[in-house]
Amino acid sequence: MTCWAKSCNFITQLEHTLEPTDFAKQSLKMLAPLGPILHRAMEPSVEEARTYLNGRRFDGYVFADLTRYHTCCRLEQSNLPKGIAFNRLPNNGILFHCDGSQARVWKADEGGELQGPGTSKSKQAFFDQSNLFSQDPRSYRYAIVWQYDFQTGLLTLSLACPKQYDEQRPWNNVECHFYIPFQHAAFEVSAAPEFSSPEPSVDDIDLKPRRKIQESGDDGSND
């Protein structure tokens, strides 16, 4: 199969299947380390933003901005793993460099989709990936879309690969190659090793045979 045919096949696959494509899986695998980093930084940040607005007139923009602000502060203080870099952009924007790829973090719209770039030239440039045919996930730019449900208190993160935005209606949602949810980072946490490894202080039960009654004159009980 030629490179061109491969690329066409790849795009067809992306557009017609509902199962995770290899490309989507590879992208998620590549950016998987960002899941725990963001869950750890965003969950308390969402709570802080929520607490701030509790009893005040709710404003979705303030909520999102406060969440981003607290998240940025936490990310700046955290020790990120090697190969991952965080940049704080204007207006508390969040940009990661991970394994040679870029990922921006944006709040989803009410339908859980990536919001359109509007008139922002930098966003428009970021979202325009309609002419890319590479099968290398590192060639793409990604969006991590976060969504918060005020009813359940759940924060969900999804990885999206933007394809193109609507130039005529730039506020409309961005068309994406795929959306794929990050598994909650709690599933990455393992039990402390002490629970499974032997502990020197917990050696085997020490059983001492009873002495014979005839020899000792008692039953040997140490009660």
Which parts of this chain interact with another protein (CB under 8 A)?
14-21, 24-25, 28, 36, 39-40, 43-44, 47-48, 51, 113, 149, 151-154, 166, 172-173, 175-176, 178-187, 189-192, 194-199, 202-210, 220-223
* Residues 155, 46 contacting (CB under 8 angstroms): yes
Return the number of the residue (1 or 215) whose C-beta is nearest another protein: 215
Q: Give min distance, CB of 186 to another protein, in A.
A: 4
Return the number of the residue (89 or 154) whose C-beta is nearest another protein: 154
Q: Give min distance, CB of 107 to another protein, in A.
A: 17
Q: Give min distance, CB of 2 to another protein, in A.
A: 26
Bridge partners (DSSP) listed for residue 93: 89
Q: Give min distance, CB of 70 to another protein, in A.
A: 10
Q: Give min distance, CB of 90 to another protein, in A.
A: 27
Amino acid at site 4: W
Give the whole-angstrom CA distance, residue 17 versus residue 198. Answer: 48
Return the number of the residue (2 or 223) whose C-beta is nearest another protein: 223
Give the whole-angstrom CA distance, residue 169 versus residue 117. Answer: 10
Bridge partners (DSSP) listed for residue 92: none
Return the number of the residue (101 or 172) whose C-beta is nearest another protein: 172
Query: Rounded to 5 degrees, what angle do the CA atoms 42, 45, 49 make?
Result: 135
Return the number of the residue (28 or 66) whose C-beta is nearest another protein: 28
Of the candidates 198, 155, 163, 190, the one whose C-alpha atom is nearest the C-alpha of residue 179 is 163
Between the CA atoms of 132, 112, 148 and 122, what dihedral angle is there, to the nearest 10 degrees?
A: 40
